[in-house]
Structure 1
Amino acid sequence: MSDTNLSAVLFKAKDLQLVERPICEPGKGEVQLCMQKVGICGSDVHYWQEGRIGDRFVVQAPMLLGHECSATVTKVGDGVTHPKSVGDRVAIEPHGVCRKCDACKTGRYNLCPDVFFLATPPDSGALARYHVHGADFVFKLPDNVSFEEGALIEPLSVGLHACRRARLSMGHRVLVCGAGPIGLCAMLSAKAFGAAAVCVTDIDSGRLEFAKKLGASHTLLIEKGQTEEQVAAKVAETLGAAPDRTIECSGAQFSVNLGVYATKPGGVFVIVGHGPSKVEFPVVSLVAKEIAILGSFRYINTWQTAIDMISCGKINVAPLVTHRFTLEDTLAAFETARSGVGVKVMIDCAKHEKK
């Protein structure tokens, strides 16, 4: 075990530094983790560049980034029975909740008002050599699921939860707006749920090409000058009928409108993407078509399902990782993520002996 804890600390906007921090001991109900892989999320880049996301989440004190994580258990605290073994390979659900409020008691802990969420101000993340986390939000990985796949369970869980919110089932035609990591995970989840066809839209032809290679049934490039109604008609033509379910993952006003125009009357439109604080809806179409619009916030009870789906080969997230860096090269990793090249940038937090 290393006696140092190299960590990626964001002090303020555009001031991300690698610093040595103490290695914390696990408390009651906690495990100490040697971090292995941490993916860079768009929110990490946003905090790094802007120091905030909207008016609610503002970096006001130094914090670690990173919440897409896998690790190895190095110590267990009192009362921990699962995972119970030092050396267990695990994936980390980046939550911590009060367990007392109505949301927690009714199983919707993602809505807990006292939720702790890694790398969301004021809560620190886990992009470090070592991290301490609640044991009940740590899940053992089977031998055939890699650490990279374990880290990708976080974005995959966003897609899985959105599909559950949509009540997506076998035979549905599905529209996914946005071909970023979350949109791609929503597409993979929809296919695993039994969707007959999934059409992914985006303004970037390269991302759509990647979506097609990953398994999207159809892709549709949104071009300048097109109206939402025109694109909705192309979606229906592409899928053979209007989509039963639409999952919006871009946060763009255009895609919000598209979801209303494109979704089948009586269908379900789930909004995942965080865009402007306020957006407008074409209300007449929304009401006349009796579309159910639902928000989807993070995830609930998805980790074991995601692990099982990856382990049995039902979902393949491995191709999402396009760039890899060591913890020591974190700044270069963030520059790559900010540039928009590739899809998922992964950081290896393990300490490697110099050759």
Structure 2
Amino acid sequence: MAPVAAAPAVVAAQQLSLKENLTLMATHESKLELVKSQAQMPGPGQALVHVRATGVCGSDVHFWKHAGLGPWKITDKTALGHESGGIVIAVGEGVVNVKPGDRVAIEPGVPCGKATCNFCLTGQYNLCPSVDFYSVPPADGTLRRYHLHPAGWLHKVPETMSYAEIALLEPLSVCLHATAQAQLRLGQPCLITGAGPIGVVQLMCANASGCSPIVITDLSQERLDFAKTVVPEVIPFKIDLSKTEQETAREIVATFTKACSGVGGTGLNGEVMPAVTMECTGVESSIATAGYATQPSGLVFVIGVGSSFLKNFPFMHFSTNEITLKFLFRYRDTWPRAIRLVSAGKIDVKKIVTAQFPLERAKEAVEHAADRTKFSVKTLIVDEE
């Protein structure tokens, strides 16, 4: 019965009057190109989405400037974008979970789903070695007007959710996965390193989890001030690069101790140290500082993406203090929770948006997000009807 139910939508798709399909692509020559094409109609199991909002991620900037990221290289051109939401305008044969007119979030990581894949079988689908992650070569991303996507990896959202909120479910999913893996708890002292978009969303998640006190660090006072407007209870700490990682860590611990007004702590002389540090930069010196600041038997959870190798990692400090170092890779099973949190007003992801550009100016939007001389937390690219 499924093919019969889907057939009218397939016919309707071929009668659509669509605009040019603008797509922002990064090239192997480290250039940005806004390419025009015609939208393709959905095949079996696919849906065609009019992408109404896309967030610019740091990885988009990295793919543009370096023609790759880690092991993934751009050999010709790759469409950017993986933080997207929109509205279904057509579906292919056999699609029953979404229909034209549905607002949807696009989960960009699509695993193989084969019975021979242990990671897919055990629910760890983000670790599937054959995953297609849209915007990671060779898979094109979602920073385009019309995007074809496997319908099973589209998540319906309430009509009350804005397209900006739908797009920002992706970075929220990263932080929800990190929050669950780190097991953040009520009353737990928490350090967050980095007040960029992931750091600020992680701050919202840690606050919602009941962590207290929370200290957030950054090099930029402007970003720290912004983080405090999002979560007024947070304690900002500005990093001074002229100081060593150990000196900075001692000052961070002093900040936690002062915030707790001398109550019994976890360090010497009643010091209060963070039980968990959510490391959102991937910067080597920041990871080292996190290790020195975190309490013995604590957790340093690295969310940020950095260099392929660490050259000056304080191994013995982590070892002799039994500090756990843990990482995450993207997310899994987070989208339904993210939708519930945002639609219920528990997490206001719109707060991180600091700039907005139309799709026709997508190249300018990515350049703006990459420009360190301009204040930017999350840049959004939108396409109207």
TM-score over 0.5 for the pair:
yes
Is 2:259 aligned against 1:227? no
Q: Give the match's secondary structure for 2:355.
A: strand
Looking at structure 2, the residues matched to 45 and 3 of structure 1 have their Cα atoms a distance apart, in angstroms, of 27
Q: 1:99 matched to which residue of 2?
A: 113
- Kindly report the root-mean-square deviation, in angstroms, between the aligned alpha carbons of the 2 structures: 1.4
The Cα of 1:3 is off from its aligned counterpart by: 4.2
Question: Secondary structure, in 3 states, of the residue corresponding to 1:239?
Answer: helix
CA shift for structure 1 position 141: 1.6
Structure-to-structure mapping, 1:1-355, within 5 angstroms: 1-54=17-70, 56-83=71-98, 85-100=99-114, 101-215=117-231, 217-240=234-257, 241-279=272-310, 280-340=312-372, 341-351=375-385
Q: Which AA in structure 2 matches 1:228? A: E
**SS at the partner of 1:10?**
strand
Q: Deviations over 1:67-115 (max 9, x none)?
A: 11001001122222222x2111111111111112111111111110001
Q: Deviations over 1:185-225 (max 9, x none)?
A: 11111112221222111111111111111105111001122
Q: Conserved in 2, the CA contact under 8 Å of 1:38 and 1:348?
A: yes
**2:245 corresponds to which letter in structure 1?**
E
**Distance in 2 between residues matched to 1:194 and 1:124, nearest whole Å:** 39
Q: What is the identity percentage for the equivalent residue pairs of Structure 1 and Structure 2?
A: 39
Question: In the alignment, is the contact (CA less than 8 A) between 2:192 and 2:280 conserved in 1?
Answer: yes
Query: Across the two proteins, how many residue pairs are aligned to each other?
Result: 349
User: Once the two structures are superposed, what CA deviation does each residue of 1:29-79 show, in whole Å capped at 9, x if it has no partner?
Assistant: 22110110011111111111221123x111112211111100100112222
1:4 deviation in Å? 2.3
Aligned-pair CA distance for 1:248: 0.8
Distance in 2, matches of 1:168 and 1:278, equals 28
User: What amino acid sits opposite 1:278 in the alignment?
Assistant: F
Larger Rg: 2
Indicate if the aligned counterparts of 2:27 and 2:67 stay in contact, CA closer than 8 A.
no
C-alpha separation in 1, matches of 2:322 and 2:206: 22
What residue ranges of structure 2 are gaps of 5+ in the alignment?
Answer: 1-16, 258-271
Q: Which runs of 5+ in 1 are unaligned?
A: none
Contact 2:103 2:157 in 1 (8 A): yes
User: For residues 72 and 214 of structure 2, what CA distance do their matches in structure 1 show?
Assistant: 33
Counterpart Cα distance in 1 of 2:152 and 2:322? 40
SS at match of 2:60: helix
Q: Distance in 1 between matches of 2:29 and 2:121?
A: 37
User: How far apart, CA to CA, are the structure 2 residues paired with 1:118 and 1:13?
Assistant: 20
Following TM superposition, the consecutive aligned residue runs of length 4 or more in structure 1 with deviations greater than 3 angstroms are none
Cα offsets for 1:154-190 (capped at 9, x unmatched):
1111111111111112121111111111111111111
Q: Normalized against structure 1, the TM-score is what?
A: 0.95
